[in-house]
Amino acid sequence: MRGASVQVGIHTNGWVVREAKLLEAGVYPERGLAFTIEDMERLVARFDAPVPLLVEHRPSPVQLGWLVSVWRQGTELFGRLLLLPEADALLQRLRVRGLSLGLSRDLSRIVEVSVTGSPRVPDARLFSAPPLPSGTEVNRMEPMETPEQIPDEVLQLRERVRQLERELYAQQVREQVQRWTLSGKLPPALVPLTEAILMQGEATVQFSGETLPLAELFRRFVDALPAYHPLSEYAPMPIHETPTLDA
């Protein structure tokens, strides 16, 4: 197996390395698909690293990590992931280890991989040890009884991701406000009010026939303001040189 010498769970440049089974050849009746070894080889050949690791296929600016390589072993597809240490610790604590692939419409490329409580391939999961030999019993994540039932640990993970998203957005707001202040577009006294407006997120307003997020409209307003640098103002120079007075 390619990369079998890499230890699993070690830290590399601040990332936690883990290997995982991603997919196996077979028929997927709920999707009306039959996935062959040739299909897997195409995924390997067209793999474009890195691929983001999400939660339940939910788009987010916060990534848990990245899928950085894939390879086929027999009828199974494996991959190597780099996880943020905090994300790895959270997944370990919540015991969420199922994985699900997101493929392009023509099934030729992996576009994302998600942590899930109900993988379509029951043993598509993160390994805490090197992959086990074929036929060895493994602890499998049980499928959900109904599509509406979501495991508590997945709900906790989703809430943590939302919290990280809020923290990231707040940091982006602070950086934007700092840029405006340094460029002279925003007086320091207006910083708290500006941050409060930008943190409104998806609240919308009507403007010139458009429905825009309040934060986006306010950004346009500030960007259109002229820069103001009171400390850089000087008295105008005279048009003609002032004559010198001889004693």
**pTM here?**
0.47
Assess whether pLDDT exceeds 70 at residue 120.
Answer: no
1-49 pLDDT, tens digit each: 333 333 345 555 667 888 888 888 888 776 677 888 898 899 999 988 7
> Class assignment of domain 11-128?
alpha beta
Query: Per-residue confidence at 108, pLDDT binned at 50, 70, 90?
Result: confident
Query: Per-residue confidence at 163, pLDDT binned at 50, 70, 90?
Result: confident
Q: What per-residue confidence (pLDDT) applies to 181?
A: 92
What are the residue ranges spanned by the domains of the chain? 11-128, 157-227
Assess whether pLDDT exceeds 60 at residue 149.
Answer: no
Assess whether pLDDT exceeds 60 at residue 158.
Answer: yes
Question: How does the average pLDDT of the chain come out, rounded?
Answer: 71
Q: What is the mean pLDDT of residues 140-147?
A: 30
Q: What per-residue confidence (pLDDT) applies to 151?
A: 53
DSSP the chain: -TTTTSPSS-EETTEEEEEEEEEESEEETTTTEEE-HHHHHHHHHT--S-EEEEETTB--S--SEEEEEEEEETTEEEEEEEE-HHHHHHHHHHT--EEEEEE-TTS-SEEEEEEESS-SSTT-BB-SSSPPPTT-----PPPPSSTT---HHHHHHHHHHHHHHHHHHHHHHHHHHHHHHHTTSS-GGGHHHHHHHHTTTT-EEEETTEEEEHHHHHHHHHHHSPP--GGG--PPPPSSPPPPPP-
